[in-house]
C-alpha cells in the first residue's frame, strides 16, 4: 500500500466570495510526480495556492502526512510541501548547485532525472537557459 503524503478533501477555494475550484479531491502518494494541466483560468494556480496555505479555503481540508493542515505557507514548506512555478525563479548570482540546495532538493536526485545538468552545476543561475 502506498502512503498518501498530500490529500485534498472537498477543497473549494477562490477569491473574495467567488469560488474558482469546487469540491476538489486530490491524493499524492509517496514517489509520485503530479502535474496540473489545463487552460488559462482553469484553477491550476488557485489549487496550488490553496494547497500551500497561501490562499484561504472556502471549504474542505488539506492533509499532509495524514494530519489536517491549517498552517500558513511557511509551515507547510517546512513539512516538505513545495511546488515549481512557471517563472524563472532562481538566484542569479548562485550556481545551479546552490540554487538546487536552496530549493530543498538533493542534487543527486535532480541529476538522476536530468543527467545533462551535471556539467552545468557550477554555472550561475543568471547564465542558465530557460530549459536548464
Question: What kind of fold does domain 4-78 have according to CATH?
Answer: Rossmann fold (3.40.50)
HSE toward the beta carbon, residue 23, CA cutoff 13 A? 0
Residues of the chain with CATH 3.40.50.300: 4-78
Q: pLDDT tens, position by position, for the chain (132 residues)?
A: 679 999 999 999 999 999 999 999 999 998 888 888 888 889 998 999 999 998 999 999 999 999 999 998 888 888 888 766 666 678 888 899 998 988 888 999 999 999 999 999 999 988 888 777
Residue 61 — φ and ψ, nearest 5°? -150, 160
- Pairing label, strands 4-15, 18-29: antiparallel
pTM score, whole prediction: 0.66
Amino acid at each position: 500500500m502506498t502512503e498518501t503524503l498530500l490529500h485534498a478533501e472537498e477543497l473549494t477555494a477562490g477569491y473574495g466570495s467567488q469560488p474558482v475550484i469546487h469540491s476538489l479531491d486530490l491524493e499524492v502518494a509517496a514517489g509520485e510526480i503530479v502535474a496540473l494541466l489545463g487552460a488559462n483560468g482553469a484553477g491550476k494556480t488557485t489549487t496550488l495556492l490553496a494547497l500551500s496555505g497561501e490562499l484561504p479555503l472556502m471549504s474542505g481540508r488539506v492533509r499532509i502526512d495524514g494530519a489536517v493542515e491549517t498552517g500558513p505557507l511557511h509551515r507547510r514548506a517546512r513539512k516538505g510541501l513545495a511546488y515549481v512555478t512557471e517563472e524563472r525563479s532562481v538566484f542569479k548570482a548562485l550556481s545551479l548547485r546552490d540554487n538546487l540546495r536552496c530549493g530543498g532538493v538533493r542534487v543527486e536526485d535532480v541529476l538522476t532525472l536530468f543527467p545533462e545538468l551535471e556539467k552545468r552545476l557550477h554555472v550561475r543561475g543568471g547564465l542558465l537557459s530557460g530549459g536548464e
